[in-house]
Amino acid sequence: MDRNAGQKSASHYLFAQIAPFDTRMLDVGDGHRVYVEQCGNPDGVPVVVFHGGPGGGCSPAMRRYFDPAVYRIILFDQRGCGRSTPHADVENNTTWHLLADIERIRTTLDIDRWLVFGGSWGATLALTYAITHPSRVAYLVLRGVFLMTRRELDWFYGGGAGAFWPDLWQDFAQMVPIAERNDLISAYHKRLFGEDRNTRIAFARAWAAWENALASIISNGPSAQSPAEYALAFSRLENHYFYNGGFLGHDSWIEQNLHKISHIPATIVQGRFDMICPPLSAWTVAQAMPKADLQMIPMSGHALSEPEITAALVHTMNLLRRKRDVLGM
Specify which residues 139 forms β-bridges with.
115
Residue 109 exposed, middle or buried by CB count within 10 Å (0-12, 13-18, 19+): middle
Specify which residues 85 forms β-bridges with.
33
Cα separation values, 252 from 4, 280, 284, 326, Å:
30, 13, 11, 32
Q: How many Cα atoms are found within 13 Å in the side-chain-facing hemisphere of 5?
A: 26
Count of residues in the chain: 329
Q: In angstroms, rounded to a whole number, what is the distance separating the alpha carbons of residues 138 and 320? A: 11
Task: Using the Cα atoms of residue 273, residue 276, residue 278 and residue 284 in order, give the sign of their dihedral.
Answer: negative
Q: CA 32, 33, 36 angle in degrees (round to 5)?
A: 140
Q: In angstroms, rounded to a whole number, what is the distance separating the alpha carbons of residues 188 and 196? A: 13
- What is residue 69's DSSP assignment? T
Specify which residues 45 forms β-bridges with.
71
Contact by Cβ (8 Å): 233, 81 = yes
| Intra-chain end-to-end CA distance of the chain, in Å | 32
Contact by Cβ (8 Å): 83, 57 = yes
Q: How far is CA 188 from the centre of its chain?
A: 21
Contact by Cβ (8 Å): 226, 209 = yes
Instruction: Strand 32-40: give its sheet, edge to edge.
Output: 22-29, 32-40, 71-76, 45-50, 114-119, 137-143, 266-271, 292-297
- Residues serving a catalytic function are 120, 274, 302
